[in-house]
Each structure stands twice: as C-alpha cells, then as structure tokens.
Structure 1
C-alpha cells in the first residue's frame, strides 16, 4: 500500500493504528496490541511523521481503546450471543484482541479501508466485512441479528460528520435496532473546528475537519424518543498523571464540559418504551 491509497477520512485510520502500536511499545503500556505493531511494520506509509509530536494522541488512543475494550467485554459477558457491528472499522484489531471468534461480528467501512483490512484479516462464517459507507443504509439488510442482542461500536469516526448527518443516522438506528446498545467516541466540543491544531491530524496528507462534538451528551436524547443516554467515561479521568497540566485544566469544572473527550454508552429503547416516552 502507498500513502495515496487512502485519502480523506480513511487516512485517519493510520493515525489510530500507529498510536496503538506506539502505545503498545511504551514503558508500562496501557494496552497491548501486537497486531497493530505487526501491521505498522508492513504498511508502506511514513509513520515517522507522527513521532515528533504525539504525546496526547498516543495517550488518548490508548485510553479510548482500553475503555471501549472494557465496555464491550462487560456487555459480551452479559450477552454472549450478541451481534457486534463496528462502524468505521479501519484497521481496528478489537475482534482479535478480545478473542471474539465465537461472536457474530461485522466490520463496516468504505471500500478502500476494507480492501486494506483484507490484507491482514480474513472473513469467516462469524466474522464479516461490509465495504460501504455507514450512511448507505443498505448495510442494515446485510447484518443477520435474528432477535439477538446488538451492540454498535464507533471509534474515531463521528467527529468527522455534521450533526445533521448524524441525527438522521441515529434516528435510523433507533428505528431499525430497538433494544440495541452503542459505545462510541465523543469529541470534546472545544476541539470542533480545531483540526489544524491537532498534533497528528495536521501531519497527514489529507485535509479533514472536526465537525461534531457535544458539551452535553444528553442532547442526543432529543434526536429520537428511542435514544437513551446510559453513561460516559471521560478520558481525562484515567491515567491522570500522564495527562499532565493539560489534563488538570481539562478536569476543572468550567473546562470539563467543553474538553471532555469520552466514550459514551447509549441504549436504543424498545418500540413500546420509545412510543410511551
């Protein structure tokens, strides 16, 4: 693969991949992702561009990876028959890392990302790749849930789309997948429009924008009667000594709502509950 094979938002998957690999190789690592280390060594891309200024990227990606791993693992322990649908999968290694071979799992991403993914991962009867945009809702007819619990994942994705795009998308999810659960990454609202100042995003060849992030996640409940906020985990509350002064500032009461990059858990209510709301 050359750097020209991924353009726009898909190129950002290489930042996350590199950050997981770098975090794995750090002293006292927060995560262990040896597959990411392997992939970085095999992809023809100048990953060295990220090394000079990457402290918060490595830490943020490591923390979000750990939080999502923990959230999903807890869900799957309670629902071992669940169907996992991973939006914007990129080169995410969670399926292998959590040893989810017995789980029906769908990786959804645009064709160029899935093409790269196929170099390192193989589909089987329980592990499926869907090569299309998540906004092409025909993917909904390709996943087989058969009344089982459904859990959605979205990491490093929604911040690149507008609120109007996401509102319609979440409405469709709530309508088509009542009783489903979702874990996703929410960008702090202070970072919307500040992509030129992001330490690693400004190093890639493509120009992408941070378009969405909320101070109050509960605002999403107004998008559809079936959307229910469950909980969220603020990155800056974890590994506090590694965030330094910036983390101390981001945890201050006046700054916290705007700077809170976090993992959010939502529930999509059953139709009966949603209609009664």
Structure 2
C-alpha cells in the first residue's frame, strides 16, 4: 500500500508528535493509554518519525496528558450519559474510539488536518468533523446540543495569543449555557522558548498562565475547578524531574497541566 505523505503547515504539523508518542507507548507492556489506532496511522504515513527519537519528555508528556484527558472525559460521560463532546484541535487523536456514553462527538481542526483525518476515521452517525479554525466562531452554531457539553482543548491554547484565547472563551460562554472545559496548559517558561523543547521546534509557543485561576478573569461565568500536574502522574517515568515536582518555582514555571473549567 502506498504511504500517505502528511502535507501540513507549521502548527498543524505538531499533531505528528503526539501521534508518534502514543504509537511508541503501545510498545510498552504497561502503556499509559491503549491506542492501537495511533500505531496503525503512523505506519501508513510517509514521514521520518525518527527525528523525534530521544524526545522522551515529549513522548511521556503527550501520553500523560492523553491518559488524564481520557480519564476525565470518560468520568464526565459516565455522570452525564448522552452529553456532547467537542474536541478542539483534534489532530489525529482517536479519543472517540476509546470513550463510551456520548450522544454526539465533534472533531474540529483546520481543513488540512481534517482532510488527512478523513483518510483514517470513517463517518458515523454520532461523530461529526468540522473543518475550520477554532477562531472562526461560526462553528459553534453547528453544535446541536442543548444539554451538558464537554469541550476539550488539547495541544491548542499554547499556539494562540492571550487575546485569541480570551475571545474564544467569551464566545463559548455566550453560546453554551452549561459547559465544562478541559484544557492543556503549557509550562510558562516554554513560552517563546521552543529551543528548550525536545521535539517541537518550528511552531512557536505563544501563551500560558502561571496561575490557572486567572482564567476566571477572561470570561463571564467562567470558573476554575481543578487541575492535574503531569509530574504527579507516572512518577517513576519522569526520571530526575520527579525530584523537583514539589518545589513551588518548578511547579509554577516548568509544569504542564490539565485544567478543568466550568461555565454556568
């Protein structure tokens, strides 16, 4: 079978890192996330994934964030069966295949990403793809949900400006009366310092927050609920970094995390 060459621009091309990370995880006897689809997609792509070899922090970090988000998405759906999930910046993630209990699932990303995604994910009655920028707020009118909505933003906010994040949050607050957000927050020290990252070099890291409670200043009715530090998960695999996880400066500046926010 002829392989597919992923023709992606700078930010969309970053989806190849978590795809590689999840595929690598499948080689372990005790994977943090079971995602055989990632390995299937990786084998079908004409791309030199060897360039990521040695990026163990990215590989682990991507799998930790996937494991946290999988756990919390499934918990949300277990409490609210039939709820809708909106996956912003979905990339080539197969989370809808790993989750149960949703009514509708919406995968949103740029047209070039959705075009690639369509090669690997078939249409279903309960999964819809939306090909547009997350900042083109018209996509919200395509979400047919009157009840609870879960919005997932994984690997997204760090590529937006603070003004763009605030505009997005305000638009979400106007559109959805009741919504829960799960968002990934980049370690603040990495903003503007891609050279410090072990895999992502081309696409610029633009934004983060040191204190997740500052989200409450960005939109009406938006409340901080909880956060999970990457360094509190899979501790043995973080090697020497786990020694620093209790140091306040380290946790504020070099700590990626998943944050849960609520509207209403």
State the TM-score, normalizing by the size of structure 1.
0.91
Aligned-pair CA distance for 1:248: 1.9
Question: Match for residue 2 of structure 1?
Answer: 5
1:81 aligns with 2:47: no
Q: Which runs of 4+ in 1 moved over 4 A?
A: none
Q: Secondary structure at the match of 1:66?
A: helix
User: Is this contact kept in 1: 2:87–2:153, CA < 8 A?
Assistant: yes
The whole-number CA distance in structure 1 between the counterparts of 2:255 and 2:97 is 29
Aligned-pair CA distance for 1:244: 1.7
The whole-number CA distance in structure 2 between the counterparts of 1:18 and 1:62 is 10
Question: Match for residue 140 of structure 1?
Answer: 140
User: Is this contact kept in 2: 1:174–1:226, CA < 8 A?
Assistant: yes
Aligned-pair CA distance for 1:242: 1.1
Partner of residue 228 from structure 1, selected from 198, 223, 227:
223
The whole-number CA distance in structure 2 between the counterparts of 1:27 and 1:194 is 34
Aligned-pair CA distance for 1:34: 0.4
Name stretches of at least 5 consecutive residues in structure 2 with no aligned partner.
none
1:163 aligns with 2:162: yes
- Cα deviation, 1:99-158, whole Å, max 9, x if unaligned, reads 45x53000000000000000010122211000000101110111111x221000111111
1:12 aligns with 2:17: no
User: Is this contact kept in 2: 1:54–1:199, CA < 8 A?
Assistant: yes
Q: Secondary structure at the match of 2:152?
A: strand
Question: Match for residue 154 of structure 1?
Answer: 153
User: Is this contact kept in 2: 1:81–1:148, CA < 8 A?
Assistant: no
Q: Secondary structure at the match of 2:87?
A: strand
User: Is this contact kept in 2: 1:236–1:251, CA < 8 A?
Assistant: no
Aligned-pair CA distance for 1:174: 1.0
State the TM-score, normalizing by the size of structure 2.
0.95
Q: Secondary structure at the match of 1:251?
A: coil
The whole-number CA distance in structure 2 between the counterparts of 1:111 and 1:124 is 19
Question: Match for residue 108 of structure 1?
Answer: 108
User: Is this contact kept in 2: 1:12–1:201, CA < 8 A?
Assistant: yes
Report the count of equivalent residues: 261
Name stretches of at least 5 consecutive residues in structure 1 with no aligned partner.
270-277
Question: Match for residue 124 of structure 2?
Answer: 124
